Amino acid sequence: MMALVLRRLLQSIVVMLVVALMAFTIFRYVGDPVAMMVGQETSLQERAQLRVTLGLDDPIPVQFGRFVIRMVHGNFGISYQIGRPVSELLVERLPATLELSGIAALFALLVGIPMGVYTALYPTRWLSKIFLGISLIGISLPTFLIGILLILLFGVTLGWLPTFGRGDVVAIGGWTTGLMSVSGLKSLIMPAFTLGMFQLTLIMRLVRSEMLEVLRTDYIKFARARGLSNRVVHLGHALKNTLVPVITITGLQLGSIIAFAIITETVFQWPGMGLLFIQAISMVDIPIMAAYLVLIAFFFVIINLIVDLLYHVVDPRLRIDTDQG
């Protein structure tokens, strides 16, 4: 197990270095940092002095090494437009994005897995047909359209839920959460549903297809022949063996939820990292764009590492192969 962790950590370091190179390329070659930081009245001498101060005259390998060292220490530079350290801006927005993504992922898992199991065990029942119809709608409709329809129905027409913002938040140390206030909970319902709907339908269909395949295997027939109850066969044997591919997709989708919460945050004006990234694109704020790329890659690396470790918890065959290797 330790060898597996070390191997995955080395792979993660390589991935992060590649992402850092991409972020550095964006930071260095997309636009002129000096031109974005100064006004038109700035003289050429002042521009040249600023270029020397920022180290832009150094060789490219030296600049990249300095960029990586600063990135490891959480220093992504100063925002061109806002004039504040990028790390401070990301730390302020991170709780909102993680809270939204976490609730959306939890919603997708807690609803999608039972729906997938039910439609696999009882494929001819009318409730299964309703679930499959809902999943088809969830996959077909774009995320932004689902959000707009929810705003129109529950925010404008019925007036039950707020249409934008995060509501009242409570500060706990350096963390802010809206889960401890009524307005915060109301503000979270529609964005979390919008963000988690596609993941829910994907997980439901994956669980259904894997469950149907597992139920046709020989060991399930042997378990039934031994006189085990349907509950034990379905939940203790079939579902457990269904979870290996589900863990893979769920792990990747969790990273996608965090990375692509941009659309949901824009529709609902949710004050997270995605909205900050969209604003940075509109203002050509390169340091924020580069930092967002690195941070999202870091989330994907951590999630994939956790998924690899969960494989060995769910599937004993992988533990045997690792020990033998």
**CA dihedral of 239, 104, 12, 245, whole degrees rounded to 10:** 20
User: Which DSSP category does 171 fall into?
Assistant: E
Count of Cβ atoms closer than 10 Å to residue 278 Cβ: 14
What is the per-residue pLDDT across 153-167, written as a single tens digit (0 to 9) for each? 998 998 889 888 888
What is the per-residue pLDDT across 172-213, written as a single tens digit (0 to 9) for each? 877 888 888 898 899 999 999 999 988 899 889 888 888 888
Q: Which two tokens stand for residue 194?
A: 């919008």
In this predicted structure, the answer to whether residue 251 has a pLDDT above a threshold of 60 is: yes
- What is the pLDDT, as a whole number, of residue 107? 92
In this predicted structure, the answer to whether residue 274 has a pLDDT above a threshold of 80 is: yes
Query: 305: exposed, middle or buried (C-beta count within 10 Å: 0-12, 13-18, 19+)?
Result: middle
What is the per-residue pLDDT across 67-87, written as a single tens digit (0 to 9) for each? 888 888 888 888 877 878 888
Tell me the pTM. Answer: 0.82
Helices (H), the chain: 2-29, 33-37, 44-53, 60-72, 86-121, 126-140, 143-150, 182-215, 218-225, 230-231, 239-259, 262-267, 273-283, 286-314, 316-324
> Which pLDDT band holds residue 32 (cuts at 50, 70, 90)?
low
Q: Where are the domains of the chain?
A: 89-272
- What is the pLDDT, as a whole number, of residue 189? 92
In CATH, what is the architecture of 89-272? Orthogonal Bundle (1.10)
